Amino acid sequence: MRICILGGDGYLGWPTAMHFAARGHDVVAVDNGAKRSWEESVDVVPLDPVPTLEERAEHWRRGWRRPIEVVHGDIAGDPGLMHGICRDFKPDAIIHYAEQPSAPFSMMNQESALYTQHNNVQGNLNVMFAMRDHCPDAHLIKLGTMGEYGTPNIDIEEGWLELEHKGRRDRVLYPKKPHSLYHLSKVHDSHNLEFACRVWNLRVTDLNQGVVYGIETPEMDGDPMLCTSFHYDDIFGTVLNRFVVQAVIGMPLTVYGNGRQTRGYLNIRDTLQCVELAALNPSQPGEFRVYNQFTEQFSIMELARRVQKAALNLGHVVTLQHVANPRAEQEDHYYKAVHAGLLELGLKPHLLDDEVLVGMLERAEAAAGRVSEVGLLPRVSWRHGLQEESAPCTAAVS
């Protein structure tokens, strides 16, 4: 297949580019380097240095592997970019990761919220129009998030809900109540894409992805020139990464609020499997297909306890500490989300066990000297934006 990966310099984009190239597909990776400037703006860097997209693609090619073509460009700010790519490359599939992906970043201030929604919604619209005009039969695989749904008091279905109202039935997009302006940008994307399927007959798979962990994929094979980013900070880091880093530097694991917030998680290897399964089994023309892309669900407290136990195997005695929750979210809630579609397509999950956690801890131990204190405590409050002072700790738990 001819595959275009938008956001190819990102945490997921680069491993995806290698994954498809290694399987014999023609890959174009598009990125404008925005993530690197966002990192600078909030004073964070990934734990290990990440070579540029061009350097990684060049290193990949030098190993006699199928080349990954790199296009530097802004899919949101340059409305012509995707037209050129769709007209000239004629992709069979477009995997769209190229969005501002951080909830705290979108909640820092008015400017960051506007930027997030413009970048994400506009970029997605540009992709839709370019597909309509140049490759209407291509399949768009769009990354959404499980956070779009929020924490409803009913089961979360895969994108659609069968509804009975006043004796009549209909199938409607699942009502979404997300917890941040970033997640809302994804909801807007989903609505725009459903429209594009219904009105222009495009084919789209919207992957509502859980929180991804892990940085190892078979194509990287331990080569630092092919690595992807590991963020542990308050803006771009995920909770599991932060706990792993806190454990190896001897800091208590900081649990936001009571820690009973529950979400879906998956290994980066399963992200790659899922996008490949979606690409090999495209949706039909006019079909807006939605999958919930995660393999397990955990509460924050469960994750903290697991990291605590795995760290003990490596000789780190770790404590937990509750901090005031900077987010406006329910802490005690019902959470049951269907995630059957990708399993039916053949997904074989890699689950979060002690071996995976010990591997992550060992990687973090090797880089412990580079850990920055910036962002180990939250700086962004959902109600008040970016704060000068990090949130204070509230209570210790052993």
Q: What is the DSSP letter of 147?
A: G
Q: Which residue among 115, 182, 213, 256 is the active-site one?
A: 182
Pairing of strands 93-96, 68-72: unpaired
Q: Does 211 bind ligand NAD (CB under 6 A)?
A: yes
Q: Does 9 bind ligand NAD (CB under 6 A)?
A: yes
Q: Does 184 bind ligand NAD (CB under 6 A)?
A: no
145 catalytically annotated: yes
Which residue, 28 or 98, has its beta carbon nearer to ligand NAD?
98
Question: Considering only residues 12-41, where is the footprint of ligand NAD by CB under 6 A?
Answer: 12-13, 31-35
Q: Does 75 bind ligand NAD (CB under 6 A)?
A: yes
Three-class secondary structure of residue 157 per DSSP: coil
Q: Does 237 bind ligand NAD (CB under 6 A)?
A: no
* DSSP H/E element including 22: helix 13-22
Size of the site for ligand NAD (CB under 6 A): 26
Q: Which residue among 16, 116, 145, 228 is the active-site one?
A: 145
Q: Which residue among 142, 186, 213, 228 is the active-site one?
A: 186
Q: Does 145 bind ligand NAD (CB under 6 A)?
A: yes
Pairwise CA distance, residues 190 & 46, whole Å? 29
Smallest distance, ligand NAD to C-beta of residue 11, A: 4
Which residue, 318 or 357, has its beta carbon nearer to ligand NAD?
357
Q: Does 112 bind ligand NAD (CB under 6 A)?
A: no
Pairwise CA distance, residues 156 & 149, whole Å? 7
Pairwise CA distance, residues 26 & 28, whole Å? 7
Whose tokens are 């605590």? That residue is 308
CA atoms within 13 A on the CB side of 170: 6
Q: Does 123 bind ligand NAD (CB under 6 A)?
A: yes
Name residues whose C-beta falls within 8 Å of residue 5's C-beta, 6 or more positions apart in sequence. Answer: 13, 16, 17, 20, 27, 28, 29, 30, 94, 95, 97
Q: Provide the β-strand partners of residue 4.
A: 28, 94
186 catalytically annotated: yes
* Active-site residue set: 145, 182, 186
Residue numbers at the binding site for ligand NAD (CB under 6 A)? 7, 9-13, 31-35, 74-76, 97-99, 101, 119, 123, 143, 145, 209, 211-212, 238
